[in-house]
Structure 1
Amino acid sequence: MSDSDRILTPEAHAFLAGLHSAFGARRDELLAKRAERRAEAARTGRLDFLSETAEIRSAQWRVAPAPADLTDRRVEITGPTERKMAINALNSGAKVWLADLEDANTPHWDNVVGGQVNLYDAVRETIELTTPEGKEYKLKPGKHATIVMRPRGWHLDERHLEFDGKPAVGALVDFGLYFFHNAQELLNRGSGPYFYLPKMESHLEARLWNDVFTHAQRELGIPHGTVRATVLIETIPAAFEMEEILYELRDHASGLNAGRWDYLFSVIKYFRDAGASFVLPDRNSVTMTAPFMRSYTELLVRTCHKRGAFAMGGMAAFIPNRRDPEVTTQALAKVRDDKSREAGDGFDGSWVAHPDLVSVCQEVFDGVLGSEPNQLGKTRDEVSVTADDLLNVAATPGGASEAGLRAAVDVGVRYIASWLGGNGAAAIHNLMEDAATAEISRAQVWQWVRNDVVLDTGATVTASLVRDVLAETRKELDGLPFLDEAAELFDQVALADDFVDFLTLPAYEKID
């Protein structure tokens, strides 16, 4: 039996058809609302907290209590559902494995189906691998990381399946197949179907997810409230609706996560017409201590703990370099500082991208948590964040440099080439990068060109200059698989007059 036949059984296909019949049209309507809201923000140059939901923000309510295996989330390891990486993540000692079918994956059909097969085996603890060289990977005896699966965002279709003559919704395919095959098995094993929800832009999108969960549980006879969802607050409009998003999901909510790179990408995308006040300096100089990023994370912790939900910190993407101990030492110091800031601010845990970072993150959170599983009691009542605070991009220190421009082009092209080749988790310059990397890189270039940004060399960023850098990058990367296609796509999404909402949309058209 092929992997596809094993996963896409007639019963599973019928379950997916039911999800699409019930929710496909609402998904389309909500995507249209995104465009309308973005246009309004472009016209006014701002966002604000919603007046129509003020009562939700002032009312007394809390999300459902966490299940036992989600009460302690001090270290979460993220990564794709590729078989070897899945085994390593489950064995890593992290409390949670974010099994990523989104930004660390690519929608090549083999990855979509293969990821579901690997998750099926992981849930049943039968996952193992023997490489062509004879190396064996198996689960260690004892407890493994709790699985929290991240499906694709609402904006992505799955063209390998159709319902009612239209491409399937990627999010419903990913969620539906995982839930159909594993929800009851997870319950039998003392866990449950847990999810990370990406790229959300409003509480109405959270309401849609909540209705999907309710429908799926009812259809399969799973008790209501079994699903638990952690929402990535990685878009600027979602930052203004944190409480409303938790409220809509309150029977199924577990927490919120500070998705930093996608958040920066969203700020650029949302206010790309707003002029110099929203122009960001070099990507690497925009730290979490920038005023607008600090406001975002403090509001997230305050909101979560006010409502009994977990606040999850951002990614430590560094990959230890065993050939250069000095690079590793310096990077680990930065990781420790970053995690120390998060733990001190009240976050309940944080993300790492490599097993070698699990111990660093755990040590930091152990030092703050002690014998407690989380910091829900740290309510941060002193935090008060305004709309102006969240939009204060202009106060970000740093400038635009030639090195920053070259890095954006280099990393963007490298990642897109990797993505086109079917690898969504790419090791680039000692960092484990995912789609957010390419998005912030190309968005920043687009923004700099449109705003005539002047580099530290005195040169103005123009389309011509970017294409010169792109040509030099192609020469430096000669021989890289999919290089020509990647460079052409980077040119398209970084320099076209019309800003493409997600580079993965045109990229998807280039793969089988």
Structure 2
Amino acid sequence: MTMPTVQAEAGPDQEQILTPDALTFLADLQRTFGPRRDELLAARRQRRAEIGRTGTLDLRPETADVRAAEWQVAPAPRPLQNRRVEITGPTDPKMAINALNSGAKIWLADLEDANTPHWHNVIEGQLTLYAAHRRALTYTSPEGKAYQLSDGDLAVPLVRPRGWHLDEKHVLVDDRPMSGSLFDFGLHFFHNAHELLARGQGPYYYLAKLESHLEARLWNDVFIHAQDALGIPRGSVRATVLIETIPAAFEMDEILYELREHASGLNAGRWDYLFSVIKYFRDVGPDFVLPDRNGVGMASPFMRAYTDLLVRTCHRRGAVAMGGMSAFIPSRRDPELTEVALAKVRADKEREARDGFDGSWVAHPDLVPVCREVFDGVLGERPNQLDRTRDEVSVTADQLLDVSSTPGEPTSEGLRGNVAVALRYLEAWLRGSGAVAIFNLMEDAATAEIARSQIWQWLRNDVKLADSGELVTADLVRRMEDEELATIRESLGAEQFEAGRFGDARALFERVALSDDFVEFLTLPAYDLID
């Protein structure tokens, strides 16, 4: 069997991960499942085109029996029964150590939206996970500060591979780039599944960007194949699916059913969900035009329907329901801002706990105590709220699509915020940082997607800004780009600004926000600009 070709300069300790046996395992996954993955990506495009023509989306009639039947997913293993606080972040050693030591129950080790797929980052992430699973991870900063894992309980790692849409261009199988999903999962599983089981845990994953139960079925088949190939008992893999696309919201039952031997829960991936709503209904008309990003809260009717349905579906099927991200970054320099923001975080977590969620996400270790306190107050000694089946919840397709009831309108402040965040984030992404602190929020690819897709949609729907009365035009957006880049230049200084990638970031932003054709994911053209 022909080995994969690695088309990248070898980095430190790369040979520890890219062993001949590991590469053979990756090639087998790609050859077995790559063609189905390609077919499902083509099916996504067909479905989006249909929604563009019809302007609507509904439950699948062919899976009505799955929704109506009584069944449950396999019981969760002990490490995944109590998930009241989960911390998310990239897999560089420092961030990983801080997350594992944070006091959270779960660490979402993010190889996707919080990680840019520079080859160095991809390999470093796998090396970090390898060492973390063996409690051997250490890090010394350039300033000489040492980081190490605590001797007590650590957060349980759940690894998030890249979504089905992304390639790993540095590894060719039969002269084609292999799936980024299969690469991330395959390397991690190959090196760590046996070790994790020996330590009383298991190979646990978060699955990103799924859009149908058929994509979940593909993941399930990958899990079975991988377990059988390495002699791992079936059902050892456990996956939590992020419901972060609007088509997936219409197939929650079906997704859990396909993964039922390997499923452990669903998560309300709220930021990607907003992006998906905009993307899928971008050209349907003004009824799907959202106000400013920061004005779309979880109390908006369509978001409320989505989260209520998620809790109801999970608990009916014996799976945990995980709440969404609190992206605020506390600042020791601004205690007043921090106090106000912490109150908002607390209110958000209290809403989720009241609604029946079994836990929630934070992006910073300082938020772990707030989230834990809220869920401790509701759960007490119970590991979760699976007994709250939310039988009173009944959500229709119309409620999931009721975007027009969201209060608020687009404003010049919202437009400028989108421009400012997108430019800063894309510049950092191109340099290798996928999780970026911007204006006291931890931004990742999902929030940048909202920013650029809102601008694209506002341009196509002749939106007038509520506060200024201006029409959103490409010229207005470019003027704001000029102003934001001038602000950044003044803040950084000319030398540091010129050393960055702001010119590339601007060109990329205009490609994904101002061009006639809508780019499916901004990370696709961005990937061509790195390494």
Is this a same-fold pair by TM over 0.5?
yes
Q: Does 1:500 align with 2:519?
A: yes
Q: Counterparts of 1:304 and 1:247 in 2: how far apart (Å)?
A: 11
Q: Counterparts of 2:100 and 2:482 in 1: how far apart (Å)?
A: 42
Number of paired residues?
512
Structure 2 match to 1:4: 14
Structure 1 match to 2:245: 235
Question: CA offset at residue 471 of structure 1?
Answer: 1.4
Task: Deviation per CA, 1:122-158: give whole Å up to 9, x if none.
Answer: 0000001112222110111111000000000000001
Task: Deviation per CA, 1:466-501: give whole Å up to 9, x if none.
Answer: 111111112111244211111111111001100000
Structure 1 match to 2:39: 29
Q: What percentage of residue pairs aligned between the two structures are identical?
A: 69
Structure 2 match to 1:470: 481
Structure 2 match to 1:431: 441
Q: Normalising by structure 2, report the TM-score.
A: 0.96
Question: CA offset at residue 2 of structure 1?
Answer: 3.5
State the one-letter code of the partner of 1:464.
D
Q: Does 1:166 align with 2:176?
A: yes
Structure 2 match to 1:211: 221
Q: Counterparts of 1:133 and 1:272 in 2: how far apart (Å)?
A: 47
Q: Does 1:458 align with 2:477?
A: no
Tell me, what secondary structure is at the counterpart of 2:328?
coil
Q: Counterparts of 2:329 and 2:469 in 1: how far apart (Å)?
A: 34
Q: Counterparts of 1:294 and 1:462 in 2: how far apart (Å)?
A: 32
Q: Does 1:92 align with 2:111?
A: no
Task: Deviation per CA, 1:329-351: give whole Å up to 9, x if none.
Answer: 00000000000000000000000
Question: CA offset at residue 3 of structure 1?
Answer: 2.1
Q: Counterparts of 2:447 and 2:71 in 1: how far apart (Å)?
A: 37
State the one-letter code of the partner of 2:488.
L
Counterparts of 1:401-420 in structure 2, within 5 Å, are 401-420=411-430
Q: 1:489 aligns with which of 508, 515, 521?
A: 508
Tell me, what secondary structure is at the counterpart of 1:158?
strand
State the one-letter code of the partner of 2:153.
K
* Cα root mean square deviation, aligned: 0.7
Q: Counterparts of 1:30 and 1:366 in 2: how far apart (Å)?
A: 41
Is the 1:151–1:196 contact (alpha carbons within 8 Å) kept by the matching residues of 2? yes
Structure 1 match to 2:369: 359
Q: Counterparts of 1:3 and 1:436 in 2: how far apart (Å)?
A: 31
Q: Normalising by structure 1, report the TM-score.
A: 0.99
Question: CA offset at residue 464 of structure 1?
Answer: 1.2
Q: Does 1:151 align with 2:161?
A: yes
Question: CA offset at residue 298 of structure 1?
Answer: 0.2
Counterparts of 1:326-345 in structure 2, within 5 Å, are 326-345=336-355
Q: Counterparts of 1:156 and 1:91 in 2: how far apart (Å)?
A: 31
State the one-letter code of the partner of 2:414.
G
Counterparts of 1:75-474 in structure 2, within 5 Å, are 75-455=85-465, 456-474=467-485
Q: Counterparts of 1:416 and 1:123 in 2: how far apart (Å)?
A: 31
The runs of 5 or more residues in structure 1 that have no matched partner are: none
State the one-letter code of the partner of 1:488.
A
Task: Deviation per CA, 1:6-29: give whole Å up to 9, x if none.
Answer: 100000000000100110000000
Task: Deviation per CA, 1:305-329: give whole Å up to 9, x if none.
Answer: 0000010000001110110100000
Tell me, what secondary structure is at the counterpart of 1:350?
strand
Is the 1:98–1:150 contact (alpha carbons within 8 Å) kept by the matching residues of 2? yes
Q: Counterparts of 1:254 and 1:506 in 2: how far apart (Å)?
A: 33
Task: Deviation per CA, 1:218-276: give whole Å up to 9, x if none.
Answer: 00000000000000000000000000000000000000000011000000000111000
Tell me, what secondary structure is at the counterpart of 1:92?
coil
Tell me, what secondary structure is at the counterpart of 2:511?
helix
Is the 1:120–1:182 contact (alpha carbons within 8 Å) kept by the matching residues of 2? yes
Q: Which runs of 4+ in 1 moved over 3 A?
A: none
Question: CA offset at residue 60 of structure 1?
Answer: 1.0
Is the 1:477–1:483 contact (alpha carbons within 8 Å) kept by the matching residues of 2? no
Q: Counterparts of 1:476 and 1:349 in 2: how far apart (Å)?
A: 39
Q: Counterparts of 1:256 and 1:423 in 2: how far apart (Å)?
A: 27
Q: Counterparts of 2:483 and 2:334 in 1: how far apart (Å)?
A: 27
State the one-letter code of the partner of 2:24.
A
Q: Counterparts of 1:65 and 1:291 in 2: how far apart (Å)?
A: 32
Is the 1:234–1:262 contact (alpha carbons within 8 Å) kept by the matching residues of 2? yes
Is the 1:87–1:128 contact (alpha carbons within 8 Å) kept by the matching residues of 2? yes
Q: Counterparts of 1:452 and 1:379 in 2: how far apart (Å)?
A: 44
Question: CA offset at residue 190 of structure 1?
Answer: 0.2
State the one-letter code of the partner of 1:508.
Y
More displaced, 127-136 or 74-83? 127-136
Task: Deviation per CA, 1:35-70: give whole Å up to 9, x if none.
Answer: 000011111100000100000000111000000000
State the one-letter code of the partner of 1:474.
L
Tell me, what secondary structure is at the counterpart of 2:242?
strand
Task: Deviation per CA, 1:54-88: give whole Å up to 9, x if none.
Answer: 00000111000000000000000000001000000
Question: CA offset at residue 463 of structure 1?
Answer: 1.1
Question: CA offset at residue 180 of structure 1?
Answer: 0.2
Is the 1:148–1:196 contact (alpha carbons within 8 Å) kept by the matching residues of 2? yes
Q: Counterparts of 2:197 and 2:518 in 1: how far apart (Å)?
A: 44
Is the 1:75–1:96 contact (alpha carbons within 8 Å) kept by the matching residues of 2? yes
Is the 1:305–1:378 contact (alpha carbons within 8 Å) kept by the matching residues of 2? yes
Q: Counterparts of 1:357 and 1:185 in 2: how far apart (Å)?
A: 30
More displaced, 11-20 or 129-138? 129-138
Structure 2 match to 1:510: 529
Tell me, what secondary structure is at the counterpart of 2:508?
helix
